[in-house]
Structures are given as structure tokens and as C-alpha cells.
Amino acid sequence: MIRLLLVDDHSSFRQPLAFMLDREPDMRVVGQAGAVSEARPLLGLADVALFDLDLPDGTGLDLIRELRAINQCCAALVLTASAARRDFATVVEAGASGVMHKSVRIEEIISAVRRLHQGEALMSARETAEMLQLAGEWRAEDSEVRAALSRLTAREREVLQALADGLGDKEIAARLVLSVDTARRHMANILGKLGADSRLQALVLAVRHGAVEIR
């Protein structure tokens, strides 16, 4: 019997999925949770755990890492609405045995659970290695951008936020009580520090790393 734990904050997906999995003769859902805090006490109970990534009080990645520490025998399968390779790679790096987009059919989920329980891999060794390499590259890129953002002065951050608010040079200068030339100089410094070719690229990097808000 395969003991299953389902963690997803979309109850109206998780509950009927649990119902359908429970109907399989070799499967039993031993726990369900809609949040990281609810899932924690259940991590030791399952042979295969299905995790969503976006949870109200954390991410499925947190749970996968905790699972690896307390229940080595349990395979983690991530079901996510994200199609980003970056997310897939991060999941593999965190120690998940498999990751599937939520566009799959229920038969594919059932088949994946059985394969994982039998110790099979859902991805080839090459795919796994690629994912791990990508995750490493993205982590390195991430820390470079964070370091670059930390080199911005307070004034440059204000200019960047004004840019995120959709302001042009004249408006930025007016908001921050600067000359237009000074505002442009700040912008050029920002692009130089971030290694960005355009204002849009600088903005994307800043938004992605939480340096500015889109309001």
C-alpha cells in the first residue's frame, strides 16, 4: 500500500484528488494539508508526498527540504502551475524526486506516484543533471544581481523606484527635486552598476529581486 500525503492550498483540487487516489487499490491518502504548518506534522507518515509550490505560509520547497531531513524514504512529487524551467530546476535541487506541471491528467499523476514508490526516476539522469546545473547557474546569477543592487545608493534606488512608477526623466527630476541632467546621470550609473543594457532590463532585474515595487 502506498501511503500518500497531499499538500495544496486549493482545497477543491486537493480534496477530489485525494478521493480519486484513495480509490486506487494500492494507494491510501494518509494526510492532507493546505499550508506548510499543517503539513509539517504529517511529513513522517507518507511514502510519497505531493506538494504544491505556492502555499500561504511558505513554499513547497521548504517542505521538501524538511522531508529530506526527517523521512529519507518518502519521495516528493511537486505538482505546480508554474511552467518556468527555473522553478522546475529549483525543485529538483531541493531534493524532489519528480516535478509535474498541473496540466497533466490524473492518470499521469497516478502513474508517477507508482513509479516513484517503486524507486524509479521520472526524469532521466541527463535531465536531472541539466536541472541541477541550471539551478546552480541561476543561483550564481542571482547573487551577482543582489550584490549589484546592494551597490546602488539610496538616491539611485529612489530613481529606480520612480522608473518603476512609470515616470520619465523630467518627472523623476521633479519628484526628487533634481535637474534632468542629474536624474539622467543617476540612471546611467544604475545601468552601469547592474550591467543592464536598457532601463527596462534594469527594471526587470530590480522587480525580480524586490528592489522596487510595481504599484
Partner 1 sequence: MGTIRIVVANELWSYRDVLAAALSCLRPEAQVVSVEPDELDVEIARLMPHLVLCSKLTAAVESVPGWVVLYPGHETRAEICIGGERQTVADVQFDSLLGVVDSIKRHTRLGVVPSL
The C-alpha cell 484528488 sits at: 17
Rounded to an integer, what distance in angstroms lies between the CA atom of residue 91 and that of residue 118?
21
Q: Which lies closer to partner 1 via its Cβ, residue 105 or residue 126? A: 105
Rounded to an integer, what distance in angstroms lies between the CA atom of residue 71 and that of residue 196?
44
The C-alpha cell 523606484 sits at: 161
Residue 104 is a binding residue for partner 1 (CB under 8 A): yes
Name the helix (H) or strand (E) containing 107: helix 106-117
Q: Which lies closer to partner 1 via its Cβ, residue 28 or residue 175? A: 28
Q: Which lies closer to partner 1 via its Cβ, residue 104 or residue 140? A: 104
Residue 58 is a binding residue for partner 1 (CB under 8 A): no
Residue 214 is a binding residue for partner 1 (CB under 8 A): no
Q: Which lies closer to partner 1 via its Cβ, residue 53 or residue 173? A: 53
Which residue type sits at 37? S
Residue 11 is a binding residue for partner 1 (CB under 8 A): yes
Residue 56 is a binding residue for partner 1 (CB under 8 A): yes
Residues 16-35 that bind partner 1 (CB under 8 A): 16-17, 19-20, 23, 34
Q: How far is the CB of 83 from partner 1 (least distance, A)?
A: 11
Taking CB under 8 A as the criterion, the residue among 1, 70, 81, 200 binding partner 1 is 81
Size of interface with partner 1, in residues (CB under 8 A): 22
Q: How far is the CB of 23 from partner 1 (least distance, A)?
A: 7
Closest C-alpha to 157, from 107, 201, 89, 207 = 207
Torsion of CA 60, 64, 66, 71, to 10 degrees: 140
Q: How far is the CB of 26 from partner 1 (least distance, A)?
A: 18
Q: Which lies closer to partner 1 via its Cβ, residue 102 or residue 155? A: 102
Q: How far is the CB of 24 from partner 1 (least distance, A)?
A: 12
Rounded to an integer, what distance in angstroms lies between the CA atom of residue 86 and that of residue 70?
26
Work out the widest C-alpha separation in the chain, in whole angstroms: 74
Q: Based on C-alpha coordinates, what's the Rg of the chain? A: 22
Torsion of CA 138, 84, 44, 25, to 10 degrees: -150
Residue 50 per-residue DSSP state = E
Q: How far is the CB of 53 from partner 1 (least distance, A)?
A: 11
Q: How far is the CB of 177 from partner 1 (least distance, A)?
A: 39
Assign 63 to helix, strand or coil: helix
Footprint on this chain of partner 1 (rule: CB under 8 A): 9-13, 15-17, 19-20, 23, 34, 54, 56, 79, 81, 102-106, 109
